[in-house]
């Protein structure tokens, strides 16, 4: 492989919610430069490029992939496109950062991993919770032994529902809140627990509030038993009003630790007029709300991209890979199977079903 240039050239795929975060995060990484953005809706890539000072914009992915100046592609497109964009990027010899969830099913995951292996490019799985400063510190407390032996891990993400239609359409997303936000908790638990194998998965799911909008789950509880005896509980919701929640707990044999990424780091605010922007999915901010500062930094996105760029520039192994994304997806399938059957599912879980929600709705 040719020696890497001084600044890693990045191509962004997508131009809306998460790509805006990618652009802001990458702009804080000294060793990276955003060369181009591609997004199919006419005008979107152009506006995005103008707003973020990106020199090139395309409506065609192929044009972006044809650019020699691009070393690494960052995929911020709907779940159903992650596999095909990864395969095209690998074929063009670009390293790949793919947003969560990795893709729609295990066969796609295998194809993505194999294509990147054959093309000798890195497949990096963008799970920012492994870089969230408060969670990194939480893991340090566990690793240094301050909490004794881990007994119970908890993590939850809750808001009042996604901002775009593709999330609500299970044919394009693959599933509801378990697919969309449960993936964060599952990788968070694997990372905290040193990638210990998962022995069983149990899940309970419902479509409690949004049945008119989706066939996916809008609330879920997922319980994992790890082979080392640790239990992990994820609570996920698309029906929680009043701003995004992101919290974790570690209950150990000699201690306990609580970490709240958003409310715990925010400014408790009372406003009769309301706050212009308080936090992701804040809803009404009249009266009491919590106003975040440095939200992207508090979530670990600049740290995540500094790491991925460093991996590409210096040929290092990424902290979170395509294999991690596949392992998370396997647990997601097992969770939908459990919610469908009412039974605890033993891992490993093999399935050739093309979308996780189908195991729940069979
Ligand atoms: N890590 C996180 O916390 C986080 C947060 C939000 C979204 N995500 C993930 O990021 C992905 C995108 O979500 P979003 O919230 O940005 O959605 P969005 O609807 O805000 O943006 C999706 C983008 O994909 C583009 N797109 C659609 N078809 C495309 C194609 N054929 N080629 C290239 N681009 C195409 C759209 O034009 C749009 O710019 C999803 O997989 C989602 O799960 C991750």
pLDDT digits (tens, 9 = 90+) for 88-143: 999 999 999 999 999 999 999 999 999 999 999 999 999 999 999 999 999 999 99
Q: Is 39 in the pocket of ligand 1 (CB under 6 A)?
A: yes
Residue 308 main-chain phi, psi, to 5 deg:
-65, -40
3-state helix/strand/coil string of 248-287: EEEEECCEEEEEECCHHHCEEEEECCCCCCCCCCCCCCCE
For ligand 1, say whether the CB of 164 is within 6 Å of any of its atoms: yes
pLDDT tens by residue, 186-206? 999 999 999 999 999 999 999
What's the chain's Rg over C-alpha atoms? 20
Q: What is the pLDDT of residue 2?
A: 59
Give 45 Cα–ligand 1 centroid separation in angstroms: 13
| pLDDT score of 237 more than 70 | yes
Task: List CB contacts of 112: < 8 A, sequence separation 6 or more.
Answer: 82, 83, 86, 87, 90, 96, 98, 102, 103, 123, 322
Q: Assess whether the C-beta atom of 13 lies below 6 angstroms from ligand 1.
A: yes
pLDDT at residue 1 greater than cutoff 60? no
Please state, in angstroms and rounded to a whole number, the distance separating the CA atoms of residues 89 and 75: 10
- Is residue 199 helix, strand or coil? strand
Read off the tokens for 121. 């490019």
Question: What distance in angstroms lies between residue 299's CA and the mean position of ligand 1's atoms?
Answer: 18
- Residue 3 pLDDT greater than 80, yes or no: no
100 touches ligand 1 (CB under 6 Å): yes
* Mean pLDDT of the region 77-94: 98
Closest CA to 193 of 220, 233, 232: 232
The Cα 124–Cα 321 span in angstroms is 5
- C-alpha 290/C-alpha 283 separation (Å) is 11
């Amino acid at each position: 492989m040719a020696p890497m240039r001084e600044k890693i050239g990045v191509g962004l795929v997508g131009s809306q919610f998460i790509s805006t975060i990618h652009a802001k995060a990458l702009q804080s990484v000294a060793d990276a430069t955003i060369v181009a953005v591609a997004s199919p809706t006419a005008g979107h890539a152009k506006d995005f490029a103008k707003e973020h000072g990106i020199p090139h914009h395309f409506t065609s992915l192929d044009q972006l992939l044809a650019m020699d100046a691009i070393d690494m592609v960052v995929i911020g497109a709907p779940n159903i496109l992650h596999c095909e964009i990864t395969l095209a990027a690998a074929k063009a010899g670009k390293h790949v950062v793919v947003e969560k969830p990795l893709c729609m099913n295990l066969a796609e995951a295998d194809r993505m991993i194999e294509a990147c292996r054959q093309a000798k490019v890195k497949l990096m799985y963008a799970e920012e919770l492994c870089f969230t400063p408060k969670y990194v510190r939480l893991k340090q407390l566990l690793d240094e032994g301050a909490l004794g032996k881990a007994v119970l891990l908890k993590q939850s993400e809750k808001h009042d529902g996604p901002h775009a239609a593709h999330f609500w359409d299970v044919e394009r997303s693959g599933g509801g809140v378990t697919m969309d936000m449960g993936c964060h908790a599952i990788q968070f638990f694997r990372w905290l627990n040193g990638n210990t194998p998962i022995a069983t998965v149990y899940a309970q799911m419902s479509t409690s509030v949004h049945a008119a909008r989706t066939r996916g789950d809008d609330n879920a509880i997922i319980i994992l038993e790890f082979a080392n005896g640790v239990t992990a509980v994820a609570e996920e919701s698309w029906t929680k009003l009043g701003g995004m929640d992101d919290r974790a707990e570690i209950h150990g044999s000699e201690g306990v630790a609580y970490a709240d990424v958003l409310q715990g780091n925010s400014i408790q605010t009372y406003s009769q007029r309301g706050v212009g922007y308080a936090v992701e999915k804040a809803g009404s901010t009249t009266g009491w709300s919590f106003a975040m500062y440095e939200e992207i930094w508090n979530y670990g996105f600049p740290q995540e991209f500094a790491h991925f760029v460093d991996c590409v520039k210096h040929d290092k192994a990424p902290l979170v890979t395509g294999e991690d994304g596949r392992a998370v997806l396997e647990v997601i399938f097992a969770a939908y199977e459990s919610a469908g059957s009412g039974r605890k599912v033993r891992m490993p879980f093999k399935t050739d079903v093309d979308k996780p929600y189908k195991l729940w709705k069979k």
